[in-house]
A and B are shown apart, each in its own frame.
Chain A
């Protein structure tokens, strides 16, 4: 059997058979779903209902300030800032005499911090109340106002992307969500599997097996076998995660009421709205949400996104893994490796930050360059692709980015190979990047 294949096989099997691998593979999706479920649970449970006592110097807020379940306004007579807690209120709102068109300051006093969301809500409701008051002052009846409020939110923005003459529905929300997730996934895997390569190489060096190995195989074969073997472990883990997540989410789907699913189906057939007519039920809020989600994700070109994801995952991994292997070959313990890995991890972390801003604006100069340069292209380009090819990312940019990434990992692998063959047999000496680069460009071994 080919020697590199043998090495790949060992690297792969020794990791996949490892108990830690099996545990993380099973636990990560469970943990992820648990975290999402837990987050949802606590956001419902943790929401404390606010009962606000209002002391109004004007008198008209009583009819106009809207209450809801989590934020109720009451207008008791005998409450002031000294006794609102004992009377059972969580907050007290002091409204001074309303003064024509001038900006007025309202004071909300609470026994504990109220949080940003509630603060905004209160401000919004006060403003609505004033607005309503002014409309009423100008002759609009209360009944009319209420009916307008009931049917508000007429506008629903539907975005489309034009490429040539064809027009396709797009969803910025779905695109940023997918772009962001892909970027994060590539970011995490590059660091996790890169470090795995570093540790693997270092282990061979400190165990002194390296010299036994290189008397049987070429150092480059040893390095390549390790990088490919660990990459295969990463792909395996990914596939298992995909399978697990699909299984788990189809289990989760069975908890959705049958009625809701029927409504979703009806909406799908009718272009996003419930069919109108006699005897047809109104779509529930849940069904509307599920439909929106499904619909916006259906606007994404999945085969392209998945294809590119696999390409950038492999390309980015190979690009950085070679560099991690080079560092692994010159260090003898993890601590000394830290200063040497910094120049490798910094660009990865930087690309992550660039990615978060690219999600907001995928067509800036920064977005373009970051998705061409191979140090950041796996993360940044992946985030942009979700926004659409060839609309946001023209074909030539995608092609150029891919080509440069391929050239990039060929270069880093070559560079790492040179460093590796010298470093792996060198002991008891602290190596700097400067020396490593020197090895790469001068005759060695």
Chain B
């Protein structure tokens, strides 16, 4: 699969800090990509460079096989910033038309696409309403539609689910899957790890302007696994001493064990089978992205950095 976006040694320094400090990664076409990082890690600066709002101090951005040309490529990108914004006094239909035309659609194309999306997300009756009359969740939906309306090759969503109820969050999530299936690439910036685990194929974690993690969700978990397994037994034996593992946690008849160096999961099973005990379930416990995130970020100056002067 070819890459929609390649970042090569991207740098952006402000007067007092290195917002983005030599970051490189690739995003393959049609994937859902998670850009993770604590507040002030440099995510927004990075996204603003990818959307052509900021220019990098050095480094290259390759978009769809060619050097990124903000003036022309901007229409192939849809960006939903974390801070949502719409013209409050403007009618919703007119607003969607305006923003779609600014993305290079003709009037008739824009009208067609807006009708399609409004119908799809049951927003037809909103056309003559003003944004100030919408609830937070409703305007969030509108913002999403405006972002994806022009069928961009690259869709960048900064915290897309904040402010949405579970029903609408699911609706948007399904749309994100759908867009990826139809060939769009989605960059998903958030610090809600459970959503990342659920949705993303590939993640990059940035902290203090540097990339500290890069890989598929599964690879990352494998990389940080601690050889922990969960075992459920119908009957827990009194003697759990074994050279193969140590019991880390025990809740009723569920055990969490850590396999010692040089042993395999089968050695654990063998220990219980030999004692003629019936095993109800046995599974590997992988660390959650949340754990990995906290593990990697904790102890750095990440939180203080967010309040530094720009």
Q: Which residues of A contact B (CB under 8 A)?
A: 1, 3, 6-7, 10, 14, 204, 207-218, 425-427, 429, 445
Contact = CB atoms under 8 A, between A and B. Distances in A.
26 contacts: A3-B102, A6-B98, A6-B102, A14-B90, A204-B85, A207-B85, A207-B88, A208-B84, A209-B85, A210-B85, A211-B53, A211-B81, A212-B79, A212-B80, A212-B81, A212-B143, A212-B146, A213-B102, A214-B53, A215-B51, A215-B74, A216-B99, A216-B102, A425-B48, A445-B54, A445-B55
B85 A216 contact: no
A419 to B, nearest CB: 15
Interface string B212-242: 0000000000000000000000000000000
Contacts of B87: 14, 207, 209
A314 to B, nearest CB: 26
A64 B67 CA distance: 99
Interface centre among B48, B85, B310 (most CB of A within 10 A): B85
Nearest to A207: B85
Nearest to A443: B57
B137 interface: no
Interface in B43-58: 48, 51-55
Nearest to B79: A215
B7 to A, nearest CB: 18
Nearest to B100: A216
A210 B81 CA distance: 10
Given A208-B81, A215-B77, 14 more contacts: A6-B101, A204-B85, A207-B88, A208-B85, A209-B86, A210-B85, A212-B86, A214-B53, A215-B52, A216-B103, A217-B102, A218-B71, A425-B53, A426-B310
Contacts of A212: 79-81, 85-86, 99, 143, 146
Contacts of B86: 207, 209, 212
Contacts of B48: 425
Contacts of B74: 215-216
B89 interface: yes
Contacts, number: 60
B83 interface: yes
B47 to A, nearest CB: 9
What 7 pairs between A and B have smallest CB-CB spacing? Answer: A208-B85, A209-B85, A215-B79, A208-B83, A216-B102, A211-B81, A215-B51
A432 to B, nearest CB: 14
Nearest to B70: A218
Nearest to A209: B85
A3 B102 CA distance: 6
Contacts of B85: 204, 207-212
Contacts of A445: 53-55
Contacts of A218: 71
A1 B101 contact: yes
Nearest to B101: A6
Contacts of A216: 74-75, 99, 102-103
A3 B89 CA distance: 21
B52 A10 contact: no
Contacts of B101: 1, 6
A215 B52 CA distance: 7
Nearest to A206: B85
A272 to B, nearest CB: 57
Nearest to A442: B15
A64 B87 CA distance: 77
A441 to B, nearest CB: 14
A215 B147 CA distance: 10
